[in-house]
Structure formats: C-alpha cells, structure tokens
Structure 1
Amino acid sequence: MTQRLDETQINRELAALPAWSRVGDEIQANFTAPDFIGALAFVNSIAALAEAAGHHPDIDIRYNVVSLALTTHDAKGLTHKDFALAKQIDIAAAGIVDAG
C-alpha cells in the first residue's frame, strides 16, 4: 500500500500546484477548454496519463469545464501518486486549457 502523506508533506506538494486545492482527502482542480470538443480532448490526454500511472482521477465534464479530483483510495487520503499525476496533468494542460 502507498504511504499516506502527512499535513506538512501535503502543504509542500500543494504549494507547487497553484491550480489545485485541497478538499478533505482530495485535491481538486478545474480546467476550462475553448469548447466541448477541447474538453474531451483534454480528458483523453488525462486518460493516457492515468493509465500509464495506474492511478485514475474522478472526472466531471460540464460543457467546456473539466473538474478533476485525486485521492488514493487504498491509503484513505493523499499520497505522492496524487501529486505526481496532478503535475503531469498540469503539464498536459499547458496551452490546451486554462486552469482555475
């Protein structure tokens, strides 16, 4: 099982991810695409990253807004897996969608 992060580790990781915020045992972010097709393309790029990492976000699409939530269920909280995937998602988002 992956080790759950403590508060200090979580705060340090979040400081490097300005688009993400903590809500309970999750980190969440919203990304805005130019249109619905752009939102779907962004989600498809996230799917490839998630599959490669073996770690999958909760995804909600509302027209051109993609809302993501990450947590590690087996650890019952946040782990390095969540922050590593969030960083990859931010890189994938650059130039495609707007964060926030």
Structure 2
Amino acid sequence: MSKLPEQDIEKKLLRFPEWEYFDNALHAEFEFENFKDCFSAMSRIAFECEAQNHHPNWSNVYNVLSISLSTHDSGGVTDKDFKLAEAIENIVEPEDE
C-alpha cells in the first residue's frame, strides 16, 4: 500500500473531525466517563485491529485514549489508516466536551 500525498490526507480528514494529521500520522484523543469505559473501548478496538492486521500506537491515562495511526511499511499514512480510523469511530463514542 502506498503512502498518500498530504493533500489527499487533508481531503479524507474532512470525514473525520476527531482526527488530525501531523508528524506523518493520524492522531485522535478520546475521553470517556471513566477508566473502565476507556479500557472497554480499547479492548473492542484491539479485536478490530487484529481483524485488519493493522495496529495503532496508542496510550491511555485514566479515561483518555490517545491514538496514532500510520502504516510503518509505507512510511506514512495510507488508506489502511483511514479504514482503521473509520472502524475506531464506529466503536468509540467520545463524550461531548
């Protein structure tokens, strides 16, 4: 899979308002009511990542999940990252701020 040009990434991001592009990756941060809800979402995301054979860089502190997506083999963001971002969006329901 080939790395997408920045203009294509920016255009695709219009469908993903929770996500930003910087440091050659897609980034999002999701806040949950508590740690249990955050960890539950991470578990559901993990199953989807295995199904797609595509794994994010992520971290969580209490109720906040930070995710970074890029296709390491391609050296940047590919359609594979947007496919996973879409799946994550369907799993995660971020709280209204």
Q: Under TM normalisation by the shorter chain, which class is it?
A: over 0.9
Deviation at 1:8, TM superposition (A): 2.2
Structure 1: gaps spanning 5 or more residues: none
TM-score (norm 2): 0.94
Shift of residue 92 of structure 1?
0.6
> What are the superposed Cα offsets for residues 53-89 of structure 1, whole Å, 9 maximum, x if unpaired?
0100111000000000000001000000001100110
Q: Which consecutive unaligned segments of at least 5 residues does structure 2 have?
A: none
What letter corresponds to residue 58 of structure 1 in structure 2?
Answer: N
Matched pairs, number: 97
Residue of structure 2 equivalent to 1:27: 26
Identity fraction in percent: 33
**Aligned equivalent of 1:98:** 95
Structure 1 runs (4+) deviating above 4 angstroms are: none
TM-score of the pair, normalised by structure 1 = 0.91
Q: CA RMSD in A?
A: 1.4
Distance 1:90 1:99, change over 3 A: farther
